[in-house]
Chain A
Amino acid sequence: MIKTNKDLLQYYNKITKESSKNDLEIIVSMGTCGIAAGTTPVLDELKKGIQEKGLSNKVTITESGCMGLCHSEPSIEVIDHKASKSIVYGDVKPEHALDILSNGVNPINGPTLINRTWYYPEDESKKENCPQARVVLRNTGRINPESIEQYIMQKGYQALGKTLCEMSPDDVVKSIMDSGLRGRGGGGFPTGKKWSLAKAVSADQKYVLCNADEGDPGAFMDRAVLEGDPHAVIEAMAIAGYAIGATKGGIYIRAEYPLAIKRLQIALNQAREMGFLGKNIFGSAFDFDIEIKYGAGAFVCGEETALIHSIEGMRGEPSFKPPFPAVAGLWAKPTIVNNVETYANIPAIIRKGADWFKTIGTPNSPGTKVFALAGKIKKVGLVEVPMGTTLGDMIFKIGEGIRNDREFKAVQTGGPSGGCITAKSIDTPIDYDSLRALGSMMGSGGMIVMDEDDCMVNIAKYFLEFTLDESCGKCTPCRIGNTRLYEMLDDITKGRGTQQTLFKLRDLAHVIKDTSLCGLGQSSPNPVLSTLANFIDEYEVHIYEKKCPAGVCRELIQYTIEADKCTGCTLCARNCPVSCISGERKQPHVIDQSKCIKCGVCYEACKFHAITKN
C-alpha cells in the first residue's frame, strides 16, 4: 500500500534499482493486431530459445501493447540496456528467434529492419528525422501493460501523488486549462473548461466517465492505449475525480475489445491493491473507484448523452443539450465525459507542467494527436504526431506513400462524420481548426487513405449506409432524410441519376445538417457534401456519361476479353465463380455478359492484361 507521496518515490527508487530486467530486453508487441498477425508463435519460440540456451538471467522478455507498426507485425524491439542501444524488427518469424537471441542488438538477416521515426518528448529532446512525438503512447509498446511495477518505473502514479499531496482541485483545473488541452474524442472542446464547469456545480455525487466506445470504423487508437497503457487512463480519471469532486468513475468500453477489457480489469485490481483507487488515496481524504461498463454495438453510444443513457441501462438515444452532462449527466448528477486519449495526456501534463505541454503542437491545438493510418497506404499503423504536422508528411513520410504505386486521391478524416481532403490540401497542418475549414474534421483520429481505384460517390454511399444503420431513429431528419440521401446516391451509382438528383442531394444534405437532434445526424451529410465539393466531376460522369471512372460501380462497368491479348490459358475461366467465361484452351475466351456478376476476379487473375474494364 502506498500511503504518501514519499512512499511512492521510495518504492520507485527501490524497484528501479532492483529492476529484475536483464541487460538484454526483448519487447514483443502483443496487441490485438500483433496477435492476429501471428506474434504468439514468435513469443513462444523466443521463450523456448531462452530456456534451451540457459539465458533466463541474461535476457528478459516483455510482452507489451502495440508498437504502432501494424504494417510489419509481428514486430519486436531488442534493447541492450548496458550499451543503451536498441533495434526494431518487423515481419519476425518464429525461425528468426534463435538468431535474434544470439545477436542481440546486432542486425540479423531475415526480419525487416524498422526505421525508428518517433521520439519521447517527456524524456528526450526533438530528434532529427523523427516526425512522431509520443506523449499519449509514451508507454504503449514499451512496457508490460499487465505490470503495475513497470508503469510505476515510468513515473506512473506520480502525477496522482502530486495532485493529492501538493495541489488543490482548483490548481489541477487551472493546470489543465492552461495547458490548452482539447478533447481528443472529436469535438475538440477544451478539457479544462469542461472540468471547471463540473467543478462549479455543487452536488452530493459527481461522476467521471471515460469514453472508450471508439465507434469510427477503421480507427483503433483508443484500443491501442487501453491495451498498451491502461494505468495511464486510470491515473488520469482519479486526477479528474479529485479536480471536480467526484468519487465514482466509469469506463464505457465496446464489447468488441475483449483484450482491452481484460487488461483494464487487471490494471484496476492492481491499482486497488496498491491503494491508488479506493479510500483515502495517498493518505488524503479523497476516495475514488472505477467501474467498467460495456457497450453493446451502437455507434451513437459514443455520443456523450447517449453513452450516459446506455450506462443507465436504457436505449442509447441521445438527448438534447443543454443541460450539458457537466451540469446534469449520469443519474442527473454532474458528469464529465472524456475520451481515452484525452485522459492519457493528463499525467504527463501534471508531471511536466502546462508550459511544457504547450511547446508541442500549435498555439490553438497544443500537444499531439494519435492517428490510425489505414487504407491504401504502404505503412498502415498507429502514429502520434505533434499537432500542426502536415497531411503530406503523415502520408508520404510516415506512411511512405500509396500501396502498389497508385496515385493518391484523398484521405478521409473524422470517419462517417468527417470529410475527405484531397491532394491540393496536402500541405495543410493538422489541427482542429484547419481541418474544419477544409470541410472535414479531426474526429477521433481515423485516417483512411484512398487511391485512384476508389470511387468517391461509392465512398459517400458507404458512409451513408453506415449512418442509416446506426441512426437511432429518434429524430426525423436523420431517420428519413438519410434514407432518401442514400437512395439518391444509390441511383447515381446505378446509372439512374439525373441533374435533378444532384440538386436534391445537396439541398437535403444541408437540411439534415441543420435540423438533426444530435451530432450523429448533424454530421452525417459531411461525406456527401465534401465529396460533392471536391469530386463533382466524378458525380457528373456517373450521371451524364453513365460511367464510373474508378471502375467500381458495378452497373456502370463491363469486363471484356481482348481477343488479341488472350493466350487461352484458361486461368480466368477456372477462377470465375459463376462459370460465365468460355473458350477452348489456347483460343481467345469470351465473357457471357448476361451471367457475369462483375466480381472482377478474372481481371485480377489474368497475367496478360487481356481483360479490360470500362
Chain B
Amino acid sequence: MTQESSCCNGAIGSDNVLNMYPEKRKLLKEYIDVLPIGDDRNFNKGFLIQTLHKAQEIYGFLPESVQLFVADQLKLHVSAVYGVISFYSYFTDKPTGKYKINICTGTACFVRGAGRLVEEFERYLGIKEGETTEDKKFSLGGLRCVGACSLAPVVMVNDKVYGKVTTKMVPEIINDCE
C-alpha cells in the first residue's frame, strides 16, 4: 500500500468542474488544509470520508476532477477515492436535480404503501428511481427510514418532510417545488 505512487499529480479529469468554480475549490482546500495530513497514506485515509462529505456538500456531487483533487491533497491513489465513492450510497458522481425527491423505503413506509408512491412519482416525472429529469430540476431516489415512521409513508424533498403521503398528493408535492 505504502509503495503506490501518487499518479494523479496534475491530472484534471475529464470534466472541468474543479476549475470552473474557484471559490468552491478554495472552500474545499481550506477544509483539507486544517486536517493533519502526513506522509502515511493509511493514516490520511482516515480523513477521506469526511473530506468527501464536505466536497459533496460544496459541489452537490463528486465529479472526476474533484475526486482527483481530493486524492492529490490526501496523497492517496485515485482508485482508493473512487472505491469509497462507489461503495457508499450517500456519495454520487453524477449531478443531481435541484429538487431531490426521496421516497422512504424503510419497512414502516413499505407496509404503508411506499412502493405505490415510487411508481406514481416515476410515472408523473417520466423518470426512473435514481434518475434526474432532463431540465435538471428533479431527481428521484429512495431513502431508508428518516425516523418519522409515525408519518409513514414519508417523502423528503431536499430537507422538507412530507408525511402520510398518498398518490393523490404527488402533483401537489411537485407543484410545491416551483
Contacts and interface: CB of A to CB of B under 8 A. Distances in A.
B146 A374 contact: no
Contacts of B149: 33, 70, 218, 220, 372, 374, 380
B147 A217 contact: no
Contacts of B148: 32-33, 36-37, 70
Interface stretch (A97-105, A291-299, A361-369, A557-565): A291-299
Contacts of A372: 149
A431 B88 CA distance: 34
Contacts, number: 137
A71 interface: yes
B143 to A, nearest CB: 7
A224 B145 CA distance: 13
Given A36-B163, A415-B107, A296 B116 contact: no
Chain B contact residues (Cβ within 8 angstroms of A): what range?
35 or more
A274 B52 CA distance: 32
A303 interface: no
Contacts of A256: 143-144, 146
A249 to B, nearest CB: 15
B49 A310 contact: yes
Contact of B111 (A295, A299, A454, A575): A454
A299 B116 CA distance: 24
Contacts of A216: 145
B91 interface: yes
Nearest to B44: A313
B120 A577 contact: yes
A313 B146 contact: no
Interface string A440-476: 0000001010100010000100110000000010000
B139 interface: no
Contacts of B167: 577, 599, 601
A70 B164 CA distance: 13
Contacts of A380: 108, 149-150, 152
B60 to A, nearest CB: 15
A412 interface: yes
Nearest to B85: A296
B125 interface: no
B58 interface: no
A223 interface: yes
A319 to B, nearest CB: 15
Given A37-B151, A298-B88, A314-B84, A217 B49 contact: no
B21 to A, nearest CB: 23
B79 to A, nearest CB: 11
Interface in B25-64: 42, 44-50, 52-53
Contacts of B163: 36-37
A585 interface: no
A459 B110 CA distance: 9
Interface string A205-234: 000000000011111100110000000000
Contact of A36 (B89, B108, B123, B151): B151
A314 B45 contact: yes
Contact of B110 (A71, A462, A577, A599): A462
Contacts of B147: 32-33, 220, 223-224, 257
9 contacts: A36-B146, A70-B149, A217-B105, A217-B145, A255-B53, A296-B52, A296-B88, A380-B150, A577-B123
Interface of B: 42, 44-50, 52-53, 80, 83-84, 87-91, 105-112, 116, 119-120, 123, 143-152, 154, 161, 163, 167-168
Interface of A: 32-33, 36-37, 70-71, 73, 215-220, 223-224, 255-257, 293-299, 310-317, 372, 374-376, 380-381, 412, 415, 446, 448, 450, 454, 459, 462-463, 472, 575, 577, 597, 599-601
Shortest Cβ-Cβ A-B pairs, 8 listed = A313-B45, A217-B106, A70-B150, A296-B88, A218-B107, A297-B90, A220-B147, A374-B108
